[in-house]
Amino acid sequence: MKLLRVENDRHVFELSKGERDLLAIAVGFYPVIPSAHQRLSKSSQPDEANQRLLDEALAEQRKENKKFAQDLLSNAARFRETEECVEMTLTAAEIEWLLQVLNDVQVGSWILLGSPEKRPRFSLNSENARHVLAMDVACMFQSELLEAIHPNP
């Protein structure tokens, strides 16, 4: 994936057809971070009413993000297919949203792999291979999107 051009607030990216499929797979994993992972307090006795409010707010945010993910990937106007590639157009706000979704996929996959400090801290097998793939693919797309909106001088 690479940034082709910026027109007004629209960023036009070039993806191979395989990259488009990988993006759809990675976004399809969302949400990955387990709900119980987001604690209001690290103390053993968090305020249950406030924790419940946090859980409800996070659930609502996940629901909105999931809908946006489905809309993003199913919007044919966002993707223009050529013989060689696919052009994907995103606004700056959509890029920020996509970064949040991909971060959830990357961090959530890392959590499900046991939060390893180094690789390989786990044995790759049929149980965890999808999390490794999701983590790496999400990281790849995050890097490309971040480079597009914050290019290195």
CA-to-CA distance for 49 and 51, rounded, in angstroms? 5
Per-residue confidence at 146, pLDDT binned at 50, 70, 90? very high
Q: How far apart are CA 93 and CA 95, in angstroms?
A: 5
Please count the other Cβ atoms lying within 10 Å of the Cβ belonging to residue 118. 5
Q: Determine the pLDDT at residue 151.
A: 80
pTM strictly above 0.75 = yes
Summary mean pLDDT of the chain:
88
Domain ranges of the chain: 20-78+91-149
